[in-house]
Structure 1
Amino acid sequence: MIKLSVAALITLALLISSGCALTQTQGESSIPAPATLYESVVIDSNSRQPVSLEYVADALSKADVVIVGEYHGHPGSHLLQTRLLKHLHNQNPHITLTLEQFNLDHQSDLDDYLAGETGEAEMIEDTNAWDNYRGSYRPIVEYARNHNLPVIAANAPAQTVRCVGRIGPAYLNALPDNQRQQLPAHPFLDTPAYREKFIEAISGSHGSNDPAISERMASVYKAQLLRDNTMASRILQARKKHPGHQVLHLTGTFHSEESLGTVALLKKRAPELSVVVLSPVFWVAEEAPPSLESQLGKGNFLYLIQPLPKEYRDPDRQNKAMKQRFSGRSDTHCTTE
């Protein structure tokens, strides 16, 4: 079993699932600041200028796949995503929504809800939806449901991810054939830049050539790759199932910014696709805006949002809360026999 320190677990949960916070430096003073946590300011990375969502939707009209990175639970991210779907749908009725927030083994449960066969509370229970579903993802799922747009559960099964993180890739060999066949044929494809970014986020320093770090983090990184490869594979499956549809994919920004993670693996599998990335950038209202030059590589478009309030200022309370959060997963049984 791979054992991580509490500090590493905290970093994994807060950075990898939601994306890394940014260091603010002096930037272009003409960029308007988002006035509330619900608002965002979209920047075109080419022109370095603020643009409207109508402009963004028009610019994305020919893209095969649009990927919006998010900070999970941030109202600015989720409001932008829903509004963008509306604008994209206004100009193209053929849109498929793919979501990291649902696991592929619950696709039938999600379909039952979209077809009106179950209620929302039943869907949340049946799909084991994220705790913040109602506050964060309900609006975009309801828009898709009301307009009969396909919604694809894009993430790998939660237990499979956890067990790969605990005992390594060999866990997949123990899966029943029907479960293994749902996963991508090559579930651990990666890129050197993504591996380096992952290790730096977890360890706080470059360490891809350090054997000790590589061994300690190998299984955790494989679990991360399983998520990214599964999402890339599910996007391609969605395009095959719904020919001619534009795909709008929602994911944590770590999985997509700098065109790494899911984006890089999607391009490896289908280099002919046109993929556009929108990435969030935290804006600290009382400070200068972030330097655009240092952030432009994160996406074709950036959207500035206010940071969320700090959850904990007491490190001991943070450690205790994180231990409790992870202890709830201790009943997962993983075996390769």
Structure 2
Amino acid sequence: MKKYAFLFLVVLFFMAFQTDKPAYQIFDKEGKKSSYKAILEKAQEVDIVLFGESHNNPIVHWLQIELTKNLYKNLSENQSESKSKNKSKNNLLLGAEMFEADNQTILDEYLNDIITEKNFEAEARLWNNYKTDYKPLVEFAKGNNLVFVATNIPRRYASLVSKKGLASLDSLSEDAKRFMMPLPVEVDLKLPAYANMLKMMGVHSTDDGKVNESFANFAYAQAVKDATMAYRINEYYKREAKNIENTNSVFLHFNGSYHSDNYESIVYYLKKYNPSLKIMTITAADQKELDSLEKTGVADFAIVTPLSMTKTY
């Protein structure tokens, strides 16, 4: 009788497991199942974390704020145990694609209580999903005196490149050039990140690597975003890390997954600006099933959510 009771409990267990509805599964780059704990531990060992997201995925946005909180806590504890002489500085830096470089002053003024929330939200050209998806990150930075970097090139300049090419940036004023990567910027359209973008548009290069100018400009516009984000991440990381002695600084950056997938784009330019940087990448993906990772090698960690997951917009 006991034997049958045990078998009955086993059947119930597996039935319950099969009807469970997991919200996400984390994998490492080889496709092995991993964990949030592994992401947090690895993040503390690197200089830069590029958290690639699906912009409208609520699970990914939740994990972003959780990683921010936990990384801040752990780095703060490590800092307090160190012999740092300047403990007024926190060694976690935040930054995001969703904020453009020419809005850095407005962002800083809000973080430092110089302007009101109303003024900030009215003037900073915020994304439509700011209040649900990015405001928690900004408010955490504000509440804990963290640096938050607006890393993206102003959209008007990316648009200019898309219409008139890279050379159009040369005509800008020196003041305008402060909000982008140093010129001239090199863009290799044979890099998979840009070649695949053109391929998706049905564009193929000729034998000598040339691409129709109008299509090439579209890829160039993507590249100047990547290069600007990389440049500003590196510049702020170098500057802030110098203010903290004997501690490890981490720059946690939020961007669309396509800006860091396959260790390209932002990663490529970061390595050009500073080859010694230790960089960790995270990607986000939707799949029908969560049992295995469909595309391996895309990032150090992949956060996979069901295709049926509700979106923030």
Q: Could you tell me the TM-score, scaled by structure 2's length?
A: 0.79
Aligned to 2:117: 120
Is the 8 Å Cα contact of residues 47 and 277 (structure 2) preserved in structure 1?
yes
Q: How far 1:246 sits from its partner (Å)?
A: 0.6
Q: How far 1:33 sits from its partner (Å)?
A: 10
2:305 is the counterpart of 1:305: yes
Is the 8 Å Cα contact of residues 232 and 262 (structure 1) preserved in structure 2?
yes
Q: What is the CA deviation profile of residues 116-170 of structure 1, one whole-angstrom value per residue up to 9, with x for unaligned ones? A: 1222232122111111100110111111111111000000011111111111122
Distance (Å, rounded) in 2 between the aligned partners of 1:80 and 1:189? 34
Q: What is the CA deviation profile of residues 36-94 of structure 1, one whole-angstrom value per residue up to 9, with x for unaligned ones? A: 7xx4322222470231x233211221100001111112212211111111121111131
Distance (Å, rounded) in 1 between the aligned partners of 2:213 and 2:143? 48
Aligned to 1:200: 199
Q: How does 1:122-271 map to 2 (within 5 A)?
A: 122-186=119-183, 188-191=185-188, 192-203=191-202, 207-209=204-206, 214-243=212-241, 244-271=248-275
Is the 8 Å Cα contact of residues 168 and 219 (structure 1) preserved in structure 2?
yes
Distance (Å, rounded) in 2 between the aligned partners of 1:89 and 1:108? 24
Is the 8 Å Cα contact of residues 281 and 305 (structure 1) preserved in structure 2?
yes
For residue 76 of structure 1, the aligned residue among 53, 59, 73 is 59
Is the 8 Å Cα contact of residues 34 and 40 (structure 1) preserved in structure 2?
no
Aligned to 1:324: none
Aligned to 1:276: 280
Q: How far 1:183 sits from its partner (Å)?
A: 1.9
Q: How far 1:195 sits from its partner (Å)?
A: 2.1
Aligned to 2:4: none
Is the 8 Å Cα contact of residues 33 and 41 (structure 1) preserved in structure 2?
no
Distance (Å, rounded) in 2 between the aligned partners of 1:153 and 1:184? 13
For residue 41 of structure 1, the aligned residue among 8, 21, 25 is 25
Runs of 4+ aligned residues of structure 1 deviating over 3 Å after TM superposition are 31-36, 208-214, 288-291, 307-311
Is the 8 Å Cα contact of residues 74 and 308 (structure 1) preserved in structure 2?
no
Distance (Å, rounded) in 2 between the aligned partners of 1:306 and 1:300? 20
Q: Does the C-alpha gap of structure 1 residues 187 and 223 become closer, same or farther in structure 2, counting only changes over 3 Å?
A: farther
Q: How far 1:267 sits from its partner (Å)?
A: 1.3
Root mean square deviation, CA, Å = 2.6
Is the 8 Å Cα contact of residues 31 and 296 (structure 2) preserved in structure 1?
no
Q: Which structure would you say has the larger Rg? A: 2
Partner letter of residue 305 of structure 2? I
Distance (Å, rounded) in 1 between the aligned partners of 2:279 and 2:184? 21
Q: Which stretch shows the higher mean deviation, 60-69 or 299-308?
A: 299-308
Q: How many residues align?
A: 272
Partner letter of residue 206 of structure 2? N
Work out the percentage of aligned pairs sharing the same amino acid.
26
Q: Could you tell me the TM-score, scaled by structure 1's length?
A: 0.74
Partner letter of residue 131 of structure 2? R
Unaligned runs of 5+ in 1: 1-30, 312-337
